[in-house]
Structure 1
Amino acid sequence: MKSATFEVKGLFEELDHLGVEKRVGALPGVHHAHANPASASVTVHYDAGAITESMLRDAVRDCGYHCRGEMQPDHLCPVAQPDPHAAHAKHAAQPGAMDEMAHDMGHGAGMDMAGMVRDMRNRFIVCLAFTIPLFLWMPMGLPLPTPPVPFGLRMDQWLFILASGAVVWPSWPFFVAAWRALRNGILNMAVLVVLSVGTGYAFSVASTFFFGGTVQFYEAVSVLLVFILLGHWLEMRARAGANDAIRALLDLAPPMARVLRDGQEVQIPTAEVRAGEVVIVRPGDRIPVDGVVTEGETQVDESMLTGESMPVKKAPGSLVAGATINKSGAFRFNATKVGADTALAQIVKLVQEAQNSKAPAQLLADRASQWLVLVAIAIGVATFVAWYWVIGQTLLLAVTLTITVFVIACPDALGLATPMAIMIGTGRGANNGILIKNASALENATRLDVVIFDKTGTLTLGKPEVIEVIAAPGHGEDEVVALAAGMEQHSEHPLAHAILEKAKQGQLTAMPAEAFTNIDGMGARATSAGVRALIGNRRLMDSEGVNLAGLEGEAERLAGGGRTVVHVARGGRLWGLIAIADAPRPTSAAAVKALRERGVEVAMLTGDNRATAERIGGELGVTTILAEVLPGQKAEQVKALQAQGKKVGMVGDGINDAPALTQADVGFAIGAGTDVAMESADVVLMRSDPFGVVAAVGLSRSTLRKMHQNLWWAVGYNVVAFPFAAGVFYPVTISPEMAALAMSGSSLIVAANALLLKRARIDGLR
């Protein structure tokens, strides 16, 4: 399954995205599509063997929208992996291109959002300019003398001219959006705006030219549109603020890079850097792409990537990431990942997909919005029938109340309630090194009953050290370490690294070993000088019938102190014991305490013996210890807790954690871990800091709280507004203008409440 994120120009209304989802999601080979009106983009999950990106782009265009993004060399619409550097290259090449496209009716996201806001502001100003004289001339306007009517035209004809200027061009986006929505089988706010503004305007035109101008709504329609445009302008400004995270990430990519070509240092656009090229970085520069240092030493600020404020030392062989900042010395590196393959581009991709994903609450809100429009149309028609034909009131009152119903019910607030909160929540997380991959994970993280931490590399530093070496009679400590180092020199296990480091510190030569065979969960077997050699735990020694040479008591003593005891044997006899310990991370105890204070149980999972596990658990305050768990059993431990009806989070960093991360309700991958673990997880913590789990849970809870607040407000507003709009409490009624103000205010409150999430105090976030 492949995913692609497209920028869609023209998502004018909050429910426009449903048409894109419906049309694109129906294509053969598409698993599902999620569009976001706040970011004006759509993420499509599809089978690359059944459908191409070009076909997906065409499907978006068939909906009536433009598909655009960071243009690739072949000028295709952007695809699954956005290239942040391309934006700089294109902007440098075409300074006016962005503004030109922004003023196209469709409008876009990201770079086009400012143009979208300006365009709506201009429409509001034009509408207001024509509405003011219209308001002054209308008999129901201010008590000012009526000016003389010029050019021999009747007053109502002049009112028609002014109203046309106030309505036709300013409201045109709503007519386009309504047509697109109906064409795609969707009902949105634009449909209700067209019904209200269009009904009042058409009725007034007919009255002016065919019925003597006895009843007119020019003033009401124009003032109504002024408030609608004002609300929409302010709402778009708020929506633009919700996308700050993506823009901030894209702005991190430097526009130019220095590379070595034909022996000469040249400066080129970052988008033109090729994999394998030598890149030159000077102090203070942003690193343009990902690569491996070949010359020089320096300190690099990686806070944009990990959230860690302390610079990281880089030397030949070290990995560097694009958009990080070189703080001290000059150096050179070989570019390994460029364009859409860089770490920054992958982060942008994850954030975009998370913002476009939908929580269950949003799916419900989308369906409710559709029904709300249908209900509004039905109530509006019923209101006209009841007041005009049943009750026998005037046509003016009946039409006024009908228009009011159409306006008051616009579902903007309901459509904005969750996507705004999700965008800001995931964006704030990304700026703090917490990548939440989808909205479901955001919602599920608030319901966790227990979080399981894998011990090694997660709660601990993952860099165990040799604490003590005990040699069996007839052997020396150096001899034991040399034999162990010979067997472990090709192993990637953290315990092996500790043994090899001990041998290096003692300047010992590893004994040659061959035919190395790993024994899952117990240790390893090898051949040393033609003799069988073993290294591992007590279970391995027992299964291989090794004589422990009277060191059973020493092994129990070391294990009782919480050390990991490595048994080293050769020729069927124990040569010695190596005690290894792994220190907890500085923030582990605080993370455990914070989670427990929030009502989340904490468990620690490890393959170590129970004594070692309980020592670490005691230091950290973990009471639930899952010890002596083989790698293949980790997912089973998660299932066992889920079988008890608990929502389980799993935190890990290794390849063998991937099944458990996938099985968990929410999988958290420590960023310093493997690509497999990060791919399997729902949340990626870019810093190797367990307190990031606390921050992620806190962020999720704050985001969900905003979503619920917004949904309750949107629903409550409509429940209260409908009876007043329909005249149930007559003679107390609401005018169309006040209805427009209330509707716009409701949407603005929802957007502003979501924006407050940027300032919310959350432990672990800045």
Structure 2
Amino acid sequence: MQGRSDQEEVQSKAVYRVQGFTCTNCAAQFEQNVKSLPEVQNAQVNFGASKVTVYGKASIPELEKAGAFEGLKVYPEKETRPIEKKSFWKKRSTITSLVSAAFLSIGWLLGEDSPISTVLFAVSILIGGYELFIKGLKSLTRFNFNMNTLMTIAIIGAAAIGEWLEGATVVLLFAISEALESYSMEKARQSIRSLMNVAPKEATIRRGDKELQVSVDDIQIGDIMVVKPGQKIAMDGTVLKGRSAVNQAAITGESVPVEKEPGGDVFAGTLNEEGLLEVEVTKRVEDTTIAKIIHLVEEAQAEKAPSQAFVDRFAQYYTPAIMLLALGIALIPPLFMGGAWGEWIYRGLALLVVGCPCALVISTPVSIVTAIGNAAKNGVLIKGGIHLEEAGALTVIAFDKTGTLTKGVPVVTNIVRLQGPEEDELLSIAAAIEKGSQHPLASAIVRKAAEINTATKEATDFTSITGKGAKAFVDGVLYYIGSPRLFDDIKPLESIVSEQIQQLQKQGKTVMVLGTELEVYGLIAVADEIRPSSREVIRKLHALGITKTVMLTGDNQATAEAIGRQVGIGEVKAELLPQHKLESIKSLKELGKVGMIGDGVNDAPALASADVGIAMGGAGTDTALETADIALMADDLTKLPYTIKLSRSTLGIIKQNITFSLIIKAVALLLIVPGWLTLWMAIFADMGATLIVTLNSLRLLKIKE
């Protein structure tokens, strides 16, 4: 029964896309309205991604009724629907604003004291502020003191004390402010929209002797997809026939096309540039890499960064406080100090207008949405505002060696026969044992044996020896292969052998020893080529103010130090088992915020323990996408300095936005004391602050590598 109830709970969750959000306050109001529906247990609105998650039962008409105050349109998440693009001049809000502005202008030209002007100002207020008043009065009846409530009280109050011109001016400026906020969020969301439109909606599928155009929703795993030159690839899959260069910029941010041949993986949304490819589909449309990226980016926008959580908490108390203060200013001086009612009510209304938390509330989310969208377009997946902020605060970065600082494709460079079997047979024995291992060094030996076509041998009773090597029976003899440390426990190495090992290690090579419990037969040296970009990346990180870079590796000390010197890394910690890497991360945390970068599969405990876990080569690697805080989609280390730079810029802009918003409010509040702040100045200050904050946030779109 328990299983059934859990299943029902999962089935009761539904996600919908929403069209028409204009501001964070409206999104919050919509969320409250949905929560109050009779059969809804809970609801969560993702303002950045324009989505609502409903727990319980609610029909689309019910949801649209809950958003009727804003004219919201709702449809299922998986339904593909074109974005309604209305000309700015054809939007209802634009038309009403223009008509309102016309009446205001005519009234002003006739003179503020003219009775006709008063009528024109009143008409201007009604036309421009009608929707605002409906929202504000509904909020007021629910004791929900949001931006619409503050503005409605201020405008009605201005009219009540005869300040018709100021009331009409406030309505018009507020409409302009709303339009600017809506525009800035749409601009920020375009990065995600561009991702959603990357992959084609149809593909050419070969079934029998026929080639059919099939919707991606109807394509099954195992179908053969035909991709012609110049076409976009519609589904993730594996190349069966053909060779071509594929532009993967949409997924990985790489500008240089990648060569694909039979056995190579391709991703939905990438562009086939040259040859004809036949691809076996390996994932359904909802499981493709681009689909996962879009989902994770949208979820990332819903996760509140620490600064946003602070702003939300602040605004929760700030708005009611402003209303109480405004009420006090309007009532206390006339009642107890002999002040003029009209003058002090006017000051109270000015405080209500300037107290609107628009700029403050939008200061963080627009920055986070813009930065995460920009990162996704450049092949960096940041899985939440908290990770974006944490990355900007990093002072220490730890690197895994294999596959991160190096290419991760080691090759055999030396085979040293000490005694016993000849070199070819030594390699054949080593390859037989290493076939059972998943270690990159093992694959280098297997590849070398295949390359020189050694005699094939079979190993039995294979056993991995964690962090040291492996053992197995070959031709009835128990052989050991692994690091020199392995033989410290079996048969200590002679000094002449140790000297040979050290010479090879000083050249940056990793040495494996092959032997039995009685004899050591040979040495196999393997080198992993350093990425050309590694040294430059380390230099850029130090230039960005990263105080310490550390390499954590299971490799021997001499090899690790040789590679460390070549890439310019600050400190090398070698001969580490996975638990030692975890301990190293914990100790590094005493120096500051620590980031760990690896391949997202190995060293999972260290990645999880770091303040920010960064995975290399996230494209096609489900583990990296799911476990890392940040995934560099390309196998490209140069994305790391860009990520740090973007994160720091985002942190800086958020701080600038919050500080600027609070200073503007403080200055405006001080101007109320001598009575210098007019209503139109108050709304202009609020609108100006909102505009500056949003434009400042949109600067994040321009940050490049």
TM-score by length of 1: 0.83
Q: Measure how far apart 1:638 and its partner are.
A: 0.9
Tell me the residue number matched to 1:425: 371
Tell me the residue number matched to 1:192: 150
Tell me the residue number matched to 1:437: 383
SS in structure 1 at match of 2:364: helix
Aligned pair partner of 1:397 in 343, 349, 353: 343
SS in structure 2 at match of 1:649: strand
Query: For residues 74 and 251 of structure 2, what CA distance do their matches in structure 1 show?
Result: 22
Query: For residues 72 and 629 of structure 2, what CA distance do their matches in structure 1 show?
Result: 28
SS in structure 2 at match of 1:410: coil
Q: Measure how far apart 1:10 and its partner are.
A: 5.7
Confirm whether residue 174 of structure 1 aligns to residue 132 of structure 2: yes
Confirm whether residue 627 of structure 1 aligns to residue 585 of structure 2: no
- CA deviations on 1:181-215 (whole Å, 9 max, x unpaired) are 567774321111111123334x2xxxxxxxxxxx6
Q: Measure how far apart 1:561 and its partner are.
A: 3.1
SS in structure 2 at match of 1:551: helix
**Alpha carbons of structure 1 residues 636 and 547: separation in structure 2 relative to 1, 3 Å:** closer
User: Do the aligned residues in 2 keep the contact of 1:289 with 1:338 (CA within 8 Å)?
Assistant: yes
State the Cα RMSD in Å: 3.2
Q: Measure how far apart 1:386 and its partner are.
A: 4.0
**Alpha carbons of structure 1 residues 119 and 668: separation in structure 2 relative to 1, 3 Å:** farther
Letter in 2 for 1:544: I
**Alpha carbons of structure 1 residues 746 and 116: separation in structure 2 relative to 1, 3 Å:** farther
User: Do the aligned residues in 2 keep the contact of 1:25 with 1:33 (CA within 8 Å)?
Assistant: yes
Query: For residues 138 and 145 of structure 2, what CA distance do their matches in structure 1 show?
Result: 10
**Alpha carbons of structure 1 residues 518 and 185: separation in structure 2 relative to 1, 3 Å:** farther
- CA deviations on 1:411-463 (whole Å, 9 max, x unpaired) are 10001111111111111111111111111111111222210000000011001
Tell me the residue number matched to 1:149: none
Q: Measure how far apart 1:532 and its partner are.
A: 0.9
- Structure 1 window deviating more from structure 2 (681-690 vs 180-189): it is 180-189
Q: Measure how far apart 1:238 and its partner are.
A: 1.9
Letter in 1 for 2:152: V
- Structure 1 window deviating more from structure 2 (514-523 vs 538-547): it is 538-547
SS in structure 1 at match of 2:569: coil
Query: For residues 580 and 72 of structure 2, what CA distance do their matches in structure 1 show?
Result: 47
**Alpha carbons of structure 1 residues 171 and 70: separation in structure 2 relative to 1, 3 Å:** closer
Query: For residues 583 and 58 of structure 2, what CA distance do their matches in structure 1 show?
Result: 42
Aligned pair partner of 2:674 in 703, 717, 729: 729
- CA deviations on 1:721-765 (whole Å, 9 max, x unpaired) are 1132x3x113xx2221222222111100111111122224x5xx2
Query: For residues 412 and 737 of structure 1, what CA distance do their matches in structure 2 show?
Result: 16
Q: Within 5 A, what are the aligned runs for 1:6-21?
A: 6-9=16-19, 11-19=21-29
Q: Measure how far apart 1:318 and its partner are.
A: 1.4
Letter in 2 for 1:529: D
Aligned pair partner of 2:649 in 702, 715, 721: 702
Letter in 2 for 1:325: L
SS in structure 2 at match of 1:171: helix
Aligned pair partner of 2:104 in 119, 131, 137: 131
Q: Measure how far apart 1:348 and its partner are.
A: 1.2
Letter in 2 for 1:687: A
Query: For residues 703 and 117 of structure 1, what CA distance do their matches in structure 2 show?
Result: 35
Tell me the residue number matched to 1:596: 542
Aligned pair partner of 2:204 in 258, 280, 283: 258
Query: For residues 503 and 471 of structure 1, what CA distance do their matches in structure 2 show?
Result: 15
Confirm whether residue 352 of structure 1 aligns to residue 298 of structure 2: yes
**Alpha carbons of structure 1 residues 325 and 688: separation in structure 2 relative to 1, 3 Å:** same
- Structure 1 window deviating more from structure 2 (255-264 vs 736-745): it is 255-264
User: Do the aligned residues in 1 keep the contact of 2:235 with 2:284 (CA within 8 Å)?
Assistant: yes
Tell me the residue number matched to 1:460: 406
SS in structure 2 at match of 1:216: coil
- CA deviations on 1:345-397 (whole Å, 9 max, x unpaired) are 11111221222222111111112223221222122212212454345454443
User: Do the aligned residues in 2 keep the contact of 1:8 with 1:67 (CA within 8 Å)?
Assistant: no
Query: For residues 219 and 74 of structure 2, what CA distance do their matches in structure 1 show?
Result: 16
**Alpha carbons of structure 1 residues 67 and 198: separation in structure 2 relative to 1, 3 Å:** closer
Query: For residues 219 and 89 of structure 2, what CA distance do their matches in structure 1 show?
Result: 33
Tell me the residue number matched to 2:481: 535
Letter in 2 for 1:614: E
Aligned pair partner of 2:666 in 701, 716, 719: 719
Tell me the residue number matched to 1:282: 228
- Structure 1 window deviating more from structure 2 (272-281 vs 487-496): it is 272-281
Aligned pair partner of 1:754 in 666, 676, 697: 697
Q: Measure how far apart 1:467 and its partner are.
A: 1.0
Q: Measure how far apart 1:591 and its partner are.
A: 1.2
SS in structure 2 at match of 1:170: helix
- Structure 1 window deviating more from structure 2 (669-678 vs 245-254): it is 669-678
- Structure 1 window deviating more from structure 2 (244-253 vs 700-709): it is 244-253
User: Do the aligned residues in 2 keep the contact of 1:117 with 1:237 (CA within 8 Å)?
Assistant: no
Tell me the residue number matched to 2:255: 309
Identity between Structure 1 and Structure 2 (%): 32
Query: For residues 759 and 163 of structure 1, what CA distance do their matches in structure 2 show?
Result: 42
Query: For residues 637 and 701 of structure 2, what CA distance do their matches in structure 1 show?
Result: 23
TM-score by length of 2: 0.90
- Structure 1 window deviating more from structure 2 (120-129 vs 610-619): it is 120-129
Confirm whether residue 741 of structure 1 aligns to residue 687 of structure 2: no
- Structure 1 window deviating more from structure 2 (549-558 vs 575-584): it is 549-558
Query: For residues 558 and 241 of structure 1, what CA distance do their matches in structure 2 show?
Result: 56
Query: For residues 142 and 41 of structure 2, what CA distance do their matches in structure 1 show?
Result: 19
- CA deviations on 1:687-745 (whole Å, 9 max, x unpaired) are 22222221111110001100000000100010011132x3x113xx2221222222111
User: Do the aligned residues in 1 keep the contact of 2:425 with 2:455 (CA within 8 Å)?
Assistant: no
Tell me the residue number matched to 1:680: 627
- CA deviations on 1:283-338 (whole Å, 9 max, x unpaired) are 11111111112222111000111111111111222111011000001112122223
Structure 1 unaligned regions, length at least 5:
45-50, 72-76, 92-97, 100-110, 141-145, 147-154, 204-214
- Structure 1 window deviating more from structure 2 (474-483 vs 610-619): it is 474-483
**Alpha carbons of structure 1 residues 21 and 661: separation in structure 2 relative to 1, 3 Å:** farther
Query: For residues 69 and 395 of structure 1, what CA distance do their matches in structure 2 show?
Result: 45
User: Do the aligned residues in 2 keep the contact of 1:63 with 1:180 (CA within 8 Å)?
Assistant: no
User: Do the aligned residues in 2 keep the contact of 1:467 with 1:579 (CA within 8 Å)?
Assistant: yes
* Matched positions, count: 690
Q: Within 5 A, what are the aligned runs for 1:136-215?
A: 136-137=109-110, 139-140=112-113, 155=115, 159-160=118-119, 162-163=120-121, 165-178=123-136, 186-201=144-159, 203=160
Aligned pair partner of 1:664 in 607, 610, 615: 610
- Structure 1 window deviating more from structure 2 (16-25 vs 669-678): it is 16-25
Query: For residues 330 and 180 of structure 1, what CA distance do their matches in structure 2 show?
Result: 61
User: Do the aligned residues in 2 keep the contact of 1:299 with 1:311 (CA within 8 Å)?
Assistant: yes
**Alpha carbons of structure 1 residues 512 and 424: separation in structure 2 relative to 1, 3 Å:** same
SS in structure 2 at match of 1:515: strand
- CA deviations on 1:78-116 (whole Å, 9 max, x unpaired) are 2xxxx5xx53xx44xxxxxx54xxxxxxxxxxx79x789
**Alpha carbons of structure 1 residues 348 and 67: separation in structure 2 relative to 1, 3 Å:** farther
User: Do the aligned residues in 2 keep the contact of 1:522 with 1:536 (CA within 8 Å)?
Assistant: yes
User: Do the aligned residues in 2 keep the contact of 1:666 with 1:682 (CA within 8 Å)?
Assistant: yes
Query: For residues 651 and 31 of structure 2, what CA distance do their matches in structure 1 show?
Result: 24
Query: For residues 701 and 600 of structure 2, what CA distance do their matches in structure 1 show?
Result: 33
- Structure 1 window deviating more from structure 2 (31-40 vs 483-492): it is 31-40
Confirm whether residue 481 of structure 1 aligns to residue 491 of structure 2: no
User: Do the aligned residues in 2 keep the contact of 1:293 with 1:334 (CA within 8 Å)?
Assistant: yes
Query: For residues 32 and 702 of structure 1, what CA distance do their matches in structure 2 show?
Result: 35
- Structure 1 window deviating more from structure 2 (164-173 vs 60-69): it is 60-69
Confirm whether residue 40 of structure 1 aligns to residue 50 of structure 2: yes
